[in-house]
Copies of this chain bind each other. A is one copy, B any other.
Amino acid sequence: MDFATHLTSNNIKPSLQRIKIFEYLYENRDHPTVETIYSDLVGAIPTLSKTTVYNTLKIFIDNGITHTVTIEDNEVRYDAIMEEHAHFKCNDCGNVFDVEIDVSGLNFKEIKSFKVEKTNIYLKGKCNKCLNKIN
C-alpha cells in the first residue's frame, strides 16, 4: 500500500502530515481518537498541531477514504478501512474490534420506502479475552 499514491488518487495532496496520519490510521486498526493519533504522531512530527489532525481527518472523510465510528456517545473514533464491516466494543477492556458482517440478511419494513445509503452496525458486550479472564 503506497499511501501517497492513495491520497493522490483521491484528490488529496500528499503532504507529510497527511501521509503519516493516513498511514497511522491504516496500520492501527483499533479505531483511534484524535487525541491518540496526535499523541502517537507528535514524536515523529514534533511540529504537529492537533488542529491539523482535525483538518486532515475532515479532508479524508470528505473524500471518502476515512469514516467515523460513533459507537460511544462521548468519543469519536476514526477508521480508514472502507470495506463494509460492523464494530464491536468490549465493555470491559474498551477495545473496538472490526466484525465481518453479512448485511444482506437484514430484514427491514419501513425501509421499502426509504433510500438507505449507509449502514452502521454497533455491537457491545464482552470480548473473548475478557470473557476468559479470571477476576
| A interface residues with partner B (beta carbon < 8 Å) | 68, 70-73, 76, 86, 88, 90-91, 97-103, 105-111, 113-128, 131
Nearest B residue to A88 by beta-carbon distance?
B114
Instruction: Give the nearest-CB partner of A98 in chain B.
Output: B110
Query: Whole-angstrom distance from the CB of A70 to the nearest CB of chain B?
Result: 4
Among B99, B101, B107, B116, the residue within 8 A (CB) of A123 is B116
Known: A105-B106, A106-B105, A108-B99. A124 touches B117 (CB 8 A): yes
Can you list 13 A-B contacts (CB < 8 A)?
A88-B116, A98-B110, A102-B106, A105-B106, A113-B131, A115-B125, A115-B131, A116-B123, A118-B124, A118-B125, A119-B121, A120-B122, A120-B123
